[in-house]
Structure 1
């Protein structure tokens, strides 16, 4: 990994084909970064929970939860959400309110005022909205700068055909990487729930380790092909199976983006990986022993994540001196992982002051 001005970057998949991307700008205003959540199902129209289709601007999802709870006169624990969405963006997503036997205040919109949160639709459902139940997110992004003037068509087409490294974006690690630095300190002394109520520090540490493993496979070119001992994941699902010998059929399915190799989200449990795939995990533990050991002591359960994601229904449109990119990503995919393949921008790298190997 390269380091400059206190920031560190992971390898880019497209760089071996096209060289490093040129400088670009994105998210000059929130309207340049539009995200719309796709549940994959519709609320039933009856039940104790009122599901709200909301639009927020300049707010994190947790800030929207607090605002809605206050406006509706319910505790924050009565508000459900599926995905965490960016602050500097215009995002539309579902939130739920537990309101058995009563409606939301008639003046809910007035109570929200000019907070940056608008309720667009209301519908009942029997259950609270839980984390991670949505299927995908649809993005509309606008970018500008030297990278756009030089043309991105070939690089974009390559990503559409080969997929995008499923890196966690820098926003997962907090401003200037602070969540990651805090995670390092907390895990070194022993994680406690009271230090990390929302689990953000555990998430930051696991995300960093996943990115480190993916970086190894980006470096040797195996991020988009299966190796012996891989745990393969079916595209768009959580279904997985262990790969023994990599035959022609498996190779062709990986090329067609039907199967992806996966990487470990560190925790307690059997990763299932063997052979060549297990070697990457062994190297990861050697390099970051404190983080790995701390996560295991915390009791968080091991999980897996695809190393690659498909751009669904991708579209590139030129708008004068800017480009508009439209695409969908599976739940948990970061649009910033797509952007970093196309443009160079300091916010697409991770600030890692104080984070070193042997963490």
Structure 2
């Protein structure tokens, strides 16, 4: 079986414009917001680094080499794209050691903005969200209708699709996951990437089905809901007026399963089960690899959304998304990428 990525449906109709993103790194600016304040004391040096045209793991390797520590002594909260200007935090474990001269790391692509100590290693996911500033070049379309879509996004949020970058070049990582499940040997880094691609594909398929029947932000029987701004969740077998009201005010969101070893507390609803039944090789492969079931919100709120048409062909957007969410999930609602 070979799986091609479909064109997952949009929430607010088809985009009324085309445009290019990532024409240059500074067109895609990301600023990471930690979910806590470093204490100022401890064995871990926390570095706030601005990087241009480099991925997170490359910076982590550079830090380990520069500080003379093991790769596993480096921490970071999230992976950031290479083709961007991103500001993110790293931690370096330096027990009983003074900080090296971090300014020696400065280059055209790396800039150390701030250093502070903390007691614990920076863990994956320790973010409150990410702030984006995105420039869309060569924009052509209907400005009035695009602004209507942006107003709808500001008011009602977006579908929480995984971005295409999750699936590798031309989406091939899903099929590489299938090959891995069938016995093809891969490296540890690729193993993790392929597992993520397989699970993300299944989630997007479930979300697409909910978008298609207009239930992506609605209460259904046997649904697990996630509280906005957290990973806390609860199940409701039969939605009542309170659930409907909280959904309308966007303080909770419906979720879909992230496939893996089943947790007995949450049974699957009919939409989830239908998608899972359609891709048994992916599901069984994830289970065989020991991936645990989880949940992900189908909808996310977009905070502090602002936009400006700088010219007839240049659109600049600024907004904040929760950790783990993709700016391209917003952009795909308003432009077709060139």
TM range (shorter): over 0.9
Q: Distance in 1 between matches of 2:163 and 2:12?
A: 17
User: How many residues were matched structurally?
Assistant: 334
Q: CA RMSD in A?
A: 2.1
Cα 1:340–1:227, aligned 2, differ >3 Å: closer, same or farther? same
Moved over 4 A (4+): 148-151, 192-198, 271-274
Aligned match of 1:285? 276
Match for residue 319 of structure 2? 327
1:207 Cα deviation after fit: 0.5
| Aligned residues of 1:147 and 1:342 also touching (Cα < 8 A) | no
Partners of 2:75 and 2:91 within 8 A in 1: yes
Change beyond 3 A, Cα 1:44–1:131? same
Flag the 1:136–1:162 CA change in 2: closer, same or farther, 3 A.
same
Distance 2:141 2:174 in 1: 30
Tell me by how many angstroms 1:247 deviates. Answer: 2.0
Structure-2 residue corresponding to 1:207: 200
Determine whether 1:303 maps to 2:298: no
> What 5-or-longer segments of structure 1 have no aligned partner?
347-359
The answer on whether the counterparts of 2:15 and 2:146 sit within 8 Å (CA) in structure 1 is no
Match of 1:176 in 2: 170
**1:273 CA drift (Å):** 4.7
Residues 1:341 and 1:272: Cα distance change in structure 2 (over 3 Å):
farther
2:285 aligned partner? 294
Cα offsets for 1:296-334 (capped at 9, x unmatched)? 111111000000110012112232232221111111000
| Counterparts of 1:318 and 1:47, CA distance in 2 | 46
CA distance in 2, matches of 1:148, 1:102: 58
User: Could you say what secondary structure the match of 2:18 adopts?
Assistant: coil
Moved more, 234-243 or 65-74: 65-74
**2-side partners of 1:69 and 1:341: how far apart?**
40
Q: Which moved more, 1:75-84 or 1:313-322?
A: 313-322
SS across alignment from 1:159: helix
Q: How far did 1:103 drift? A: 2.6
Residue in structure 2 matching 1:13, options 11, 14, 32: 11
Task: Note if 1:231 corresponds to 2:224.
Answer: yes
2:249 to 256, 261, 270: 256
Residues 1:163 and 2:157 aligned together: yes
CA contact (8 A) 2:16 2:146 kept: no
CA contact (8 A) 2:41 2:119 kept: yes
Change (3 A) 1:84 1:198: farther
Q: Secondary structure at the match of 1:24?
A: strand
Distance 1:148 1:58 in 2: 32
Q: CA deviation at 1:119?
A: 0.8
Unaligned 5+ runs, structure 2: none
